[in-house]
Structure 1
Amino acid sequence: MLTTSPAADSGADTTVPAPAEAPVDPSFAERQSRAPYVDALRSLSEIDWQRIHVPGHQARAENAPGVASIVGEQALRMDFPMLFSGVDQQTWQLVTPGRRTPIMEAQELAAEAWGASRTWFITTGASGGNHVATTVVRGLGTELVVQRSVHSSVIDGITHVGLTPHFVHGAVDAGLGCNHGVTAQQVEEALTANPASAAVYIVSPSYFGAVADIAAIADVAHRHGVPLVVDEAWGSHFGLHPGLPTNAARLGADLVVSSTHKAVGSLTQSAMIQLGHGPYAEALESLVDRVVRSYQSTSTSALLLASLDEARRHIVTHPERVAEAIASAEAVRALVKADRRFRDATPDILASPDAIANDPFKVAIDTRGAGITGGDAHFQLLRDHRIYCELSTPSALLLLVGATSPLDVDRFWTALQALPEAEIEPERPISLPPSCERAMGLDEAFFADVEVVDAAGAVGRVSADSLAAYPPGVPNVLPGEVLSADAVAFLRGTAATPTGYVRGANDPALDTFRVVAR
């Protein structure tokens, strides 16, 4: 259990930066218009270096023409390694010894933008961020209270460091085929039943956009003397515009994993880890810093880091783009609400007991009664109209609108209306199976001797793998759980769809499964 200062136990108020809804002062706007890491990198790239160091292309397109054709010659010139560049170490002429480096300044600006006390840029995605966060939890103890519908990377992290999870099963919409979140009351009950837990680990928003009551859950965790970790991968844009929900760091979360590329627009695989405020977060800082360094590559991509700096600057300084993106998402919802065939599923999401708000950039379209399954709609939009949606279930189609990327509403709506309608409502396979029964610990099953069996023979056996329909990447089966007939059928059905993929599978079709050897 985390030891904190007496203020934590006395209920003393801690100062948290004002939420994004507060008026933006001129000095804030001026600071946020800077991108120090990007500017330093551009300055370096304009110099005619003779580069005799890694990376092997050495900034010349003729040395790697295929790579240059993918990313462009300018990207090669900006692809500097760590330690040399002067943007992440105190070297060369850009930084005076003893002063903050451009990467340090960029991270400080990100912390200010999201209302965090400290931010780390990472280049292993939110999955890597979850590995960091679970390792941090292991530094506090061996048990934790964790939402069952976390991303598979959280389960991987828990497994690798040998934590014992006490799962809280959140709300499930079996009709739409999606998991949502947990309530403060559920967390209270789990911590009371498992007092040795060292942390609480939840997801908000859910993949479909349900926003949990972070402030209430943080209060519960802190009253039990433990920090709150939030996987906010799908809410990296929260707190940056008055039309968006407030982000977790401002609401009392102690450690937050943010997948910046998902909605804010940095390059794929770039993400941030944010530290909250108050004594619990403060006590974690040194440990988080050491764990981040142990996971971060020693050859961190300057391009990924720069994209984080630039994406932060863009979304903070262009609120009009966020407003346009929100308006485009709302325009689609309005069309769906007025449509004969399709239905807006936002009320279903807000009806979930955990949801106090929803992400306006997740547009869930219910296809039940439309004469087409969500999966067929997804595939036909892709094949016939070159429109690639975020996700489909047998009952729904999910759109993700980028936070600064307004949607071409007319193009999407014309294509949606062009989808064929069957005279007889199509059969819709099971949307989401119930959790399987647990027989062994996560790490015990993951590191056990395994055997490969066919799908029929897998039913009733203990899974050695974490198996997750992807996206959303929430494990349907965990290592140590007994494979049920429903789970096997669901995973095989997912794999058989044109856009289906199951993370962790022994083979793409799931004709075989890895199970714990007898």
Structure 2
Amino acid sequence: MIKSHELKQVRPVNKELHQQTPLFSALKLYEEQDVISFDVPGHKRGLDPETDLHYYGSSTLRHDINSMPQLDNYDNPKGVIKEAQSLMADFYLADHAHFLVNGTTEGIQAMIFSVCKPGDKLILPRNVHKSVLNAMALADVTPIYVLPEFDTEFGIAHNLSLNTVKETIERHPDARALFIMNPTYFGAVSDLKSIVDLAHDYDMPVLVDEAHGAHFRCSPELPLSSMEAGADLAATSLHKTGGSFTQSSVLLVKGDRVDAHKIKSVINMLTSTSASYLLMSSLDIARKHLALNGQQRFETLMPHVRQFKEAVTNIPGFHMVNGNEFKHLYHQNLDETKLTIYVDSTIKLSGFEIYKLLRSEYHIQMELAEPNVVMGIVSAADNLHVLERLLDALTDISARYHDSSRAVLAPILKQLAIPEQAMGLREVLYGEKYPISIEDAVGKICAESLMIYPPGIPIVMAGERISQDIIDYWQFINNQPIIKIGTENSNQVYIIEKRGQ
């Protein structure tokens, strides 16, 4: 593993090559032409002056177009889309890159559908995103869950340890592939290079959910990216930390353990035949910006982030860990661009309440909250000013709500043994479900995964038996100002019964 005080070697970027934006440049050229549109979309490049779509600007409307010879075709790219994808692959040190217009969710589905057959085992962390569960249900894949390292004080899961992965692979050497996150939602990073090497020793492809790691390629101060670590496939959300439009992502491919033709066929099966040129061109633009300016931006940003973390730790009631402290506690690396702010027992608010307060009174939108945590994300677009705004807000909240006599933490979900997977995900998907009172659900099989969003990590997964601890935590969640997913009525849960019961 890279030690916290050491820097990785960043392979130089060919900046002359990455000055190009083949797809975006072709769109700009098309925009300049006086083309009469008898094709879709129906707004006809903004022809109707009365539509409110003009609020978004004429260039937006003129770039929202359909496939044509000059602008290539998403299903079988041979022109500017192919050129733009090749540049993306070059930047991320991959063999191939596929643009995605349905987010990293589509990439995760494509990875699992491309590698796994019905009945195959997939080794994966217990704290994966809901898109992984949905993909396994559709593909009829059997999950082999691995418990991540766990923060027992503040109730959040981190990443997988090398030893835990090794033990699981040794118990399930017949597993088809290993799925891992790089990083977790809270920025925890496993020893990915060693884990990849271990899986490859068993001839297991490694699939990476890199939704929050699009920036790793840019700086020696950031952890290894999936392709730098030698992973086979990675779904990477440029829209999250790379600067492209929301819902745009890429699937990166490396090596010959996976069938490149099958991957492309699966992507075509999952993707609209009207792939958005606005989303795809934003990937082209974001790649250029990261390649040309990413390293310099993070060299400027990271000292400000470290200073912010030190300052927050001096505010009564709040705490943040740095990379050295995190490595000592969990033997994992930390993506320092994740601002995970721990709320201790002396603050008279939960993480959920602080999240709401920051937005309503300080006009600061954080990424997510947990009972004793509020988390934000910084990217290459951020600066010292916005960090100072957040620091001032936290200082004010502490002055208003800190009480040194308090010693009661809000309820947290303890690290539990992995619940019994009483039914397969696909069996649950197609089974008959019905609602019951949440208080009566102990021992019942959950029919729909329950989660808060963000981050979309299930508290209990479909097909698992519901415990009293899970019910207690869900009832606490129901009283918090946060989005709940998995049940239409907060006092009910959908369950399913096995045939014959």
The amino acid across from 1:164 in the alignment is: T
Aligned residue for 2:251, secondary structure, equals: strand
Q: Deviations over 1:305-363 (max 9, x none)?
A: 011110111111113223233233222112123333321133664345451x2112101
Q: Deviations over 1:401-433 (max 9, x none)?
A: 023322522211111111122435374332224
Aligned residue for 1:56, secondary structure, equals: coil
Range with greater deviation from structure 2 (249-258 or 167-176): 167-176
Aligned residue for 2:71, secondary structure, equals: coil
The amino acid across from 2:411 in the alignment is: I
- For normalisation by structure 1, the TM-score amounts to 0.88
Instruction: Give yes or no for contact 1:264–1:311 (8 Å, CA) kept in 2.
Output: yes
**What are the equivalent positions in structure 2 for 1:47-58 lying under 5 Å apart?**
47-58=33-44
Q: 2:424 aligns with which of 436, 441, 466?
A: 441
| Cα distance between partner residues in 1 of 2:440 and 2:232 | 44
Partner residue, 1:464: 447
Q: Deviations over 1:107-126 (max 9, x none)?
A: 11111111111100101111
Aligned residue for 2:54, secondary structure, equals: helix
| Cα distance between partner residues in 1 of 2:460 and 2:77 | 50
Aligned residue for 2:239, secondary structure, equals: helix
Partner residue, 1:389: 366
Aligned residues: 482
2:4 aligned with 1:24, yes or no?
no
Instruction: Give yes or no for contact 2:98–2:252 (8 Å, CA) kept in 1.
Output: yes
Range with greater deviation from structure 2 (367-376 or 426-435): 426-435
2:406 aligned with 1:425, yes or no?
yes
Aligned residue for 1:57, secondary structure, equals: coil
| Cα distance between partner residues in 1 of 2:47 and 2:394 | 42
The amino acid across from 1:339 in the alignment is: I
Aligned residue for 1:248, secondary structure, equals: coil
Instruction: Give yes or no for contact 1:321–1:406 (8 Å, CA) kept in 2.
Output: no
Can you give the 5+ residue segments of structure 2 that lack an aligned partner in the other structure? Answer: 1-6
Structure 1 residues 124 and 99, CA, compared in 2 at 3 Å: closer, same or farther?
closer
Partner residue, 1:33: 19
Range with greater deviation from structure 2 (217-226 or 408-417): 408-417
Instruction: Give yes or no for contact 2:209–2:234 (8 Å, CA) kept in 1.
Output: yes
Partner residue, 1:246: 224
Aligned residue for 1:176, secondary structure, equals: coil
| Cα distance between partner residues in 2 of 1:232 and 1:362 | 14
Q: 1:291 aligns with which of 258, 263, 266?
A: 266
| Cα distance between partner residues in 2 of 1:506 and 1:400 | 28
| Cα distance between partner residues in 2 of 1:452 and 1:493 | 19
The amino acid across from 1:175 in the alignment is: E
Structure 1 residues 75 and 85, CA, compared in 2 at 3 Å: closer, same or farther?
farther
Structure 1 residues 284 and 352, CA, compared in 2 at 3 Å: closer, same or farther?
farther
The amino acid across from 2:190 in the alignment is: A
Deviation, structure 1 residue 247: 0.4
Instruction: Give yes or no for contact 2:22–2:84 (8 Å, CA) kept in 1.
Output: yes
Deviation, structure 1 residue 36: 0.9
Can you give the 5+ residue segments of structure 1 that lack an aligned partner in the other structure? Answer: 1-18, 91-97
2:357 aligned with 1:380, yes or no?
yes
The amino acid across from 1:217 in the alignment is: I
- For normalisation by structure 2, the TM-score amounts to 0.91
Q: 1:514 aligns with which of 485, 490, 494?
A: 494
Q: Deviations over 1:378-423 (max 9, x none)?
A: 1111111101111222212212002332252221111111112243
Structure 1 residues 376 and 343, CA, compared in 2 at 3 Å: closer, same or farther?
same
Deviation, structure 1 residue 64: 6.5
2:375 aligned with 1:398, yes or no?
yes
| Cα distance between partner residues in 2 of 1:349 and 1:448 | 43
2:466 aligned with 1:480, yes or no?
no
Deviation, structure 1 residue 268: 0.5
Instruction: Give yes or no for contact 2:123–2:144 (8 Å, CA) kept in 1.
Output: yes
Partner residue, 1:219: 197
What RMSD, in angstroms, separates the aligned Cα atoms of the two structures? Answer: 2.3
Instruction: Give yes or no for contact 1:491–1:502 (8 Å, CA) kept in 2.
Output: no
Q: 1:364 aligns with which of 340, 355, 359?
A: 340
Aligned residue for 2:260, secondary structure, equals: helix
Instruction: Give yes or no for contact 1:130–1:257 (8 Å, CA) kept in 2.
Output: yes
The amino acid across from 2:314 in the alignment is: A
Identical residues among aligned pairs (%): 28
Aligned residue for 1:418, secondary structure, equals: helix
Deviation, structure 1 residue 440: 1.7
Q: 2:182 aligns with which of 184, 199, 204?
A: 204
**What are the equivalent positions in structure 2 for 1:497-512 lying under 5 Å apart?**
497-498=480-481, 500-503=482-485, 505-507=486-488, 510-512=490-492
